[in-house]
Amino acid sequence: MSAPAGSTRLERTRDDDAETRMASISALFEPTSVAVIGASDDPTRIGGRPIRYLREAGFGGAIYPVNPNRSLVQGLPAHATLASITSAVDLAVVALPAEQVLDALAACAAKGVRVVIVFSAGFAEADEAGAQRQRAMAQIARDSSMRILGPNCLGAFNAHNGFFGTFTQALDQAGMSAGPVAIASQSGACGGHLSYLCRQRGIGIGYWVTTGNEADIELSECLLWLARAPTVRVIVAYAEAIRDGARFVEALKTARANGKAVVMLKVGRSQVGARAAASHTGALTGEDAVYDAVMRQYGVHRAASIEEMLDIAYGCARGVLPRDRRLGIVTVSGGVGVQMADAAEQFGLETPPMPESGQARIKAMIPFAGTANPIDLTAQLANDRSLMGRCLDIVLSEGDYASIILFMTSSPAVPASADWLMNTLAEVGQRHPDRLFVLSFAAPVEVVRRFEAAGYLVYEDTHRAVRAVGAMARMAQGFARERQPRPAAALLAQSLAASAAPVARPALEALDEHGAKRLLAAAGIPVLREIVAADAQAVEQAAEDLGTPVALKVLSPDIAHKTEVGGVALGLATPQAAACAAREMLARVREQLPQARLNGVLVSPMCGGGVETICGVYPDPVFGPMVMFGLGGIHVEVLRDVAFRLAPFDTDEAFSMIEEIRGAALLRGARGSPPADIEVLARTLSRLSVFAHVNRGVIAEIDINPFLVLARGHGAFALDALVLPTAA
Amino acid sequence: MSAPAGSTRLERTRDDDAETRMASISALFEPTSVAVIGASDDPTRIGGRPIRYLREAGFGGAIYPVNPNRSLVQGLPAHATLASITSAVDLAVVALPAEQVLDALAACAAKGVRVVIVFSAGFAEADEAGAQRQRAMAQIARDSSMRILGPNCLGAFNAHNGFFGTFTQALDQAGMSAGPVAIASQSGACGGHLSYLCRQRGIGIGYWVTTGNEADIELSECLLWLARAPTVRVIVAYAEAIRDGARFVEALKTARANGKAVVMLKVGRSQVGARAAASHTGALTGEDAVYDAVMRQYGVHRAASIEEMLDIAYGCARGVLPRDRRLGIVTVSGGVGVQMADAAEQFGLETPPMPESGQARIKAMIPFAGTANPIDLTAQLANDRSLMGRCLDIVLSEGDYASIILFMTSSPAVPASADWLMNTLAEVGQRHPDRLFVLSFAAPVEVVRRFEAAGYLVYEDTHRAVRAVGAMARMAQGFARERQPRPAAALLAQSLAASAAPVARPALEALDEHGAKRLLAAAGIPVLREIVAADAQAVEQAAEDLGTPVALKVLSPDIAHKTEVGGVALGLATPQAAACAAREMLARVREQLPQARLNGVLVSPMCGGGVETICGVYPDPVFGPMVMFGLGGIHVEVLRDVAFRLAPFDTDEAFSMIEEIRGAALLRGARGSPPADIEVLARTLSRLSVFAHVNRGVIAEIDINPFLVLARGHGAFALDALVLPTAA
């Protein structure tokens, strides 16, 4: 399920399949009739809660409690079996002990139920018997057209139509008001907790789903459906391991194309965390750096905590994103203003100073004000409250900031101050309707709600306010980038369309360095002009042709480490010296490795200067071929200063990849050396990604080390290359 | 005031002075009588609030309103002038326009007032006229024995004795209950905001002071006083720029010795932030990396936000710190457990798995539980609540964790669940009184307060809970380290005591490379055996003595860049080749720089292999000599991978400094090379710090580049050295 499809035929099947899958997720969120198997009369029990929630939420469809021991369940007529329900059943909720679940599923399939939600625990997360039951469950889903959510999940809800197929206790206290936020969580408890916290913060949830053990329906399908849902603005996702990398990426692309923010908590960053995640879901947790790269590449905000995730979801839910990264900071405390400026830099926002004229106008009103940015209105405000509105007006009209964060200490905790602030903001806001207004103050929750109802974002902590605005600006930038025609993206599409069929597998067997380089050269990766020479005489001629000095490398598909057998000679100054070295080299290698196939000697011009980099490809089990980039030597091996991207990607993405490593300054021309040819490097990385993508079925790994990047205008070259086929 | 003292005489004066200063801060926090100059009858005005707060808090001393226009102020008899008060006045609060402040201060000095708090703005933060007034104010303090807090501050309070010399509106809503937290802030508004947030979170503040423009009393003095105050457990500090680095360090050392946690927000990390900070306080903001190093060195937790600062203050305020870094995570959500494990790694905590026996005992009760660590009790808990207590007992008795974080989603929001949790914890806690119990759940504030009152820490967000425990464990470790006799610390004390007098300034003039190395060698820095040769013949003899190959470097105090004038020759294989190279070198240099003083040629053995590092010293204007360490080449220059420490420090500190750089793996023996002689490197850094400290009055900068560190057991050597004297 998780392996990337290798052929066009498979992909077509997949596309058809995708629409069927989306229809089944629609059936999950929008059922017209619901049966609860294992229904309880007690509205606090697992089998009782869904019925209670459905009725409290005014679900419009039919509700069928299934319970052989009662005639009424919570006042509704109960059915002894599912089969005894005469009408069609769209969706069934199963709240039974694990041992009874398979029978219930068989009955559901026989009845023609479209989706079943299985709450029960005791499957793959428990023991081998449970894992067996889970495999049988998956088989039922495959054999029927019926989909299964769970087992070991808390179900799903759709606050828009009152469908509550869940027993989460987080809904106990009050109903959920529908809103633009959707939550998809692999962990049930975490999903429930998120819904409680959202309600506490006044964040309205439209759709909510927990996928549990994912015997059938998995997170990525849900994300894709939510990315298409018109009322969803923000998708909050909690994941431990993605099972279907391709669909996950499709979901993220769809969300970005539709301008929906995705905020995600992917756990398992640490060694210990990954250990716990693996035991919790029984799924293979991919390398964290790969997840990180994929999320970055497709514009997901990866949060480190639930609080961060909700801070950003809350900000995006309002639907106003800043048009750029320019932030104006207005404060009544100089100190807190400085803190916000620090945070702005940390979170990728710009805080350009106000123009001189605007600064002068504020100084004229408040002589001791800080006027650059942060704009510190000082305690003067306490003496003349009209100053705030007038200053804000100047900041907004002259400063040209996309966002404003206004820090007010705890003054709105005083009702009169809150009224005054509300009025001032309303006036100023009318004149600048295109700006994002964010307030930061500490006050009782009623005061916060009042400002939120008027359309402002309120964060008590300034650091969290700035972090959220930074994330929102980054997302807005990603959405804008999607909407504009980009030459790099067009070029990528073009080169993918024009890509030849994958390399034939036989051509990949017994590939020596020269063969690998020719393969890469055909894919547009720059290599030096090199000559294969069969013997010492041919080497002499080749050195003559190429010009000295030259390097020699023995060519053999059987020799991985050439240096160790004396198969490399560098800096040979004359054709004669080259011939002599070749003779000696071939004799030595034949003596040491008499079985090795020898394809001759590769003669290359010596190439000095420049920056050594490493460009590689390796297959991630979840996502497919990942391209890796780093600087050569200690940078990759010791400092682990590398960047990853999922193939294929365009040159814009390649530039961002290059910029991402800490050592990028070396390529920009540090220590008096000229800037390197980053353009050629970026083009090469993009081409490598296309090549890796097209050949993902046959090529497993590629290692170009070193890839030497010369000064700008002088190009870059693969000096050594290794291409490994996939296991046949 | 901020320059480090250069002689013993000065330091003695400073010590006497220090006690006087501490007495004056006592007078600030513990006055027996208070005059308010500019007293207002309106309890909401700046001149009215202190009187109102003093009376509300039941201040036991005399209160004298000074107001020439009224006979009664807020019911108290008013005095027309300060002089007309017949009794002595301990402390005066000045709430007057800036123009009237100097006269008031003169009156205070004449009256023998010990401390004056000046609220008024319009001084150095405003304009040149204000700066002039501030200088005059500082002069008054110097000329009298009277101390001045402010101007442009919000004053101070002591909740223990009801002294409230402040007009902060943050105290409007309710009185402050005294507690073990002290707050010292340079920013008034930020200080006020902190006090509001503390009250909201139930954190009791004992002492609170804002220092504003610091015409006289500055933050470090307040910190030192608080570090000595018996009732203070946690010091929360907010700073934009430290004026007196030496006293700041003394305060931090005192706090650490007394086992008091210091949590600090030092703003100005970013370029923009530093710009704003400079304009806000008019003080020179030191390099941020230096502040960072000093705080790390002396065990301060540097927070990035107000929220983080209060999270940690809240944790430390309870007075129970974990005895080590071992954290047990108990959760009812596997997913959130994994998150906490990720966070634990991020924040320096260890989460070792439970012993097998304990795991088996839990499995026996809850078959599907995660039992390693995180310990996931799963939803089973809902069915049998007794499981929690029994499992916690096993975790605590078998897991040997110093801290436990227990995540309970929002279940304590349900009153019955809260009761049950409280009872369970009380039972378990009795059996394990030595552990730190931290709870993480979401629930109404009354529920949180109830658990806090029972002695538990409660954090809604798990990430913040783990961050706080990490900080607390680090502090506890720092305190424990202080209490134990450490050989490294003893050695440092010994070598400081044994240090010779500073180098005489004349010896530092005209110092060539050889002179610099001899100076450093005398201080215990390892150098190679090198010979100064006057001419080619002497070079030949020297090469003979040292053994070839050798390196030659021209010696001249007038030549900074030897390579550029052909003053360096490397790898000379025979004494004759060395002589020949020396002859040529001396001729060339004489021709090119006929004015340069030539001290001959330095002959050194060639030394290969090892890791090139840079050890340097430079004078921070606030803190004095800082020692810098990094790897050579691009590591320092391009990657800026460096660590700083304030001199002097011991070898333990030097080891932590070495470990701090990202490239430290190179010294541990990466890529098949042997581990480097880190012991010698650490000893060298410590000795360099002692040398820099002792000579801080005469030596400004030292640059040992490269300092070559060979394989373990083979030592390390200064291959080149530069010593620059201070400006005479």
Residue of A187, A270, A671 lying closest to B341 (CB–CB): A270
Residues of chain A with CATH 3.40.50.261: 168-319, 327-483
CATH code 3.30.1600.10 for B31-153: no
**What pLDDT is stored for residue B282 in this prediction?**
33
Residue A537 has pLDDT above 90, yes or no: yes
Q: Which residues of A touch B190 (CB under 8 A)?
A: 333, 335-336
* CA B409/CA B376 separation, integer angstroms: 12
Contact B637 A671 (CB under 8 A): yes
Residue of A269, A280, A665 lying closest to B334 (CB–CB): A280
CATH architecture for residues B611-725? 2-Layer Sandwich (3.30)
pLDDT in tens, B343-382: 999 999 999 999 999 999 999 998 878 888 999 988 777 7
* CA B473/CA B479 separation, integer angstroms: 10
Residues of chain A with CATH 3.40.50.720: 31-154
* CA B349/CA B608 separation, integer angstroms: 40
**What pLDDT is stored for residue B286 in this prediction?**
46
Write down the mean pLDDT value for chain B: 90
Residues of chain A with CATH 3.30.1490.20: 529-605
- Average pLDDT, integer, range B328-356: 93
Residue B7 — pLDDT band, cuts 50, 70, 90? very low
Contact A339 B267 (CB under 8 A): yes
pLDDT in tens, A705-719: 899 999 999 999 999
**What pLDDT is stored for residue A9 in this prediction?**
46
Burial of B518 (0-12, 13-18, 19+ CB in 10 A): middle
Write down the mean pLDDT value for chain A: 90
Q: Which residues of A touch B269 (CB under 8 A)?
A: 342, 345-346
Which three-class secondary structure string do you get for B448-516? Answer: HHHHHHCCCEECCCHHHHHHHHHHHHHHHHHHHHHHCCCHHHHHHHHHHHHCCCCCCHHHHCCCCHHHH
Residue of A187, A461, A666 lying closest to B306 (CB–CB): A461
Q: Which residue(s) pair with B115 in the sheet?
A: B91, B147
Contact A372 B307 (CB under 8 A): no
Q: Which residues of B touch A346 (CB under 8 A)?
A: 269-270, 304
* CA A173/CA B414 separation, integer angstroms: 8
Question: What kind of fold does domain B327-483 have according to CATH?
Answer: Rossmann fold (3.40.50)
Residue of A169, A238, A413 lying closest to B173 (CB–CB): A413
Pair B718, B523: CB distance under 8 Å: no
User: To 5 degrees, how large is the angle CA B379–CA B384–CA B388?
Assistant: 75
Q: Which residues of A touch B279 (CB under 8 A)?
A: 370, 372
Q: Determine which helix (DSSP H) or strand (DSSP E) holds A64, and give its type and residue range.
A: strand A62-66
Contact B189 A305 (CB under 8 A): no
Half-sphere exposure of B541 (CA within 13 A, CB side): 8
Which one, of B458, B420, B419, B416, lies nearest residue B436 by Cα?
A: B458
Tokens representing A439 are 């307030």
- Average pLDDT, integer, range A240-269: 93
Which one, of B677, B679, B702, lies nearest residue B689 by Cα?
A: B702
Residue B613 has pLDDT above 90, yes or no: yes
Residue of B186, B334, B410 lying closest to A170 (CB–CB): B410
Contact B188 A379 (CB under 8 A): yes
N-terminal to C-terminal alpha carbon distance within chain A: 19
* CA B37/CA A360 separation, integer angstroms: 34
- Average pLDDT, integer, range A637-650: 88
Residues of chain B with CATH 3.40.50.720: 31-153
Residue A8 — pLDDT band, cuts 50, 70, 90? very low
**What pLDDT is stored for residue A278 in this prediction?**
44
Contact B410 A378 (CB under 8 A): no
CA torsion angle B696 B697 B699 B700 (round to 10): 80
Contact A634 B670 (CB under 8 A): yes
Residue B275 — pLDDT band, cuts 50, 70, 90? low
Residue A4 has pLDDT above 50, yes or no: no
Q: Which residues of A touch B367 (CB under 8 A)?
A: 126-127
**What pLDDT is stored for residue B173 in this prediction?**
65
Q: In angstroms, what separates the C-alpha of A617 from chain B's closest C-alpha?
A: 22
- Average pLDDT, integer, range A437-465: 96
Q: In angstroms, what separates the C-alpha of A267 from chain B's closest C-alpha?
A: 5
**What pLDDT is stored for residue B584 in this prediction?**
93
Q: Which residues of A touch B185 (CB under 8 A)?
A: 335
Contact B190 A335 (CB under 8 A): yes
How many other CB atoms are there within 10 angstroms of residue A131's CB atom? 15
Residue of A280, A376, A670 lying closest to B638 (CB–CB): A670
Nearest CA in chain B to A193: B409
Q: Which residues of B touch A280 (CB under 8 A)?
A: 334-335, 337-338, 370, 376
Testing the interface with B: which of A40, A119, A186, A339 to mutate, by most B Cβ within 10 A? Answer: A339
Pair A96, A69: CB distance under 8 Å: no
Contact A334 B127 (CB under 8 A): no
Residue A248 has pLDDT above 50, yes or no: yes
Q: In A95-173, where does DSSP find H-type helix?
A: 98-111, 128-143
Nearest CA in chain A to B367: A126
Contact B172 A127 (CB under 8 A): no
Contact A276 B463 (CB under 8 A): no
Q: In angstroms, what separates the C-alpha of A230 from chain B's closest C-alpha?
A: 29
Residue of B276, B333, B345 lying closest to A187 (CB–CB): B333
N-terminal to C-terminal alpha carbon distance within chain B: 19
Among the ranges given (A227-236, A270-279, B220-229), the one the predictor scored with the smallest mean pLDDT: A270-279
Contact B306 A336 (CB under 8 A): yes
Residue of A280, A335, A337 lying closest to B338 (CB–CB): A280
**What pLDDT is stored for residue A186 in this prediction?**
94
pLDDT in tens, B682-717: 999 999 999 999 999 999 889 998 999 999 999 999
CATH code 3.40.50.970 for A31-154: no
Q: Which residues of A touch B332 (CB under 8 A)?
A: 189
* CA A450/CA A456 separation, integer angstroms: 9
pLDDT in tens, B462-517: 999 999 999 999 999 999 998 888 999 999 999 998 887 888 888 888 788 999 99
Angle between helices B219-228 and B8-29 (to 10 degrees): 80
* CA A39/CA B317 separation, integer angstroms: 49
Nearest CA in chain A to B269: A342
Residue of A126, A269, A411 lying closest to B368 (CB–CB): A126
Residue A77 has pLDDT above 90, yes or no: yes
What is the percent of chain A with per-residue pLDDT over 90, rounded to a whole number? 73
Residue of B339, B378, B410 lying closest to A196 (CB–CB): B410
Contact B367 A186 (CB under 8 A): no
Contact B338 A197 (CB under 8 A): no
Q: In angstroms, what separates the C-alpha of B628 from chain A's closest C-alpha?
A: 20
Q: Which residues of A touch B637 (CB under 8 A)?
A: 670-671
What is the percent of chain B with per-residue pLDDT over 90, rounded to a whole number? 73
* CA A514/CA A530 separation, integer angstroms: 8
What is the percent of chain A with per-residue pLDDT over 70, rounded to a whole number? 94
Q: Which residues of B touch A334 (CB under 8 A)?
A: 187, 189, 276, 280
Considering the domain A529-605 in this protein, what is its CATH number? Answer: 3.30.1490.20
Q: Which residues of B touch A639 (CB under 8 A)?
A: 662-663, 665
Residue of B280, B379, B634 lying closest to A338 (CB–CB): B280
pLDDT in tens, B91-110: 999 999 999 999 999 999 99
Contact A305 B339 (CB under 8 A): yes
What class is the B168-319 domain? alpha beta
User: To 5 degrees, how large is the angle CA B52–CA B57–CA B58?
Assistant: 100
**What pLDDT is stored for residue A285 in this prediction?**
36
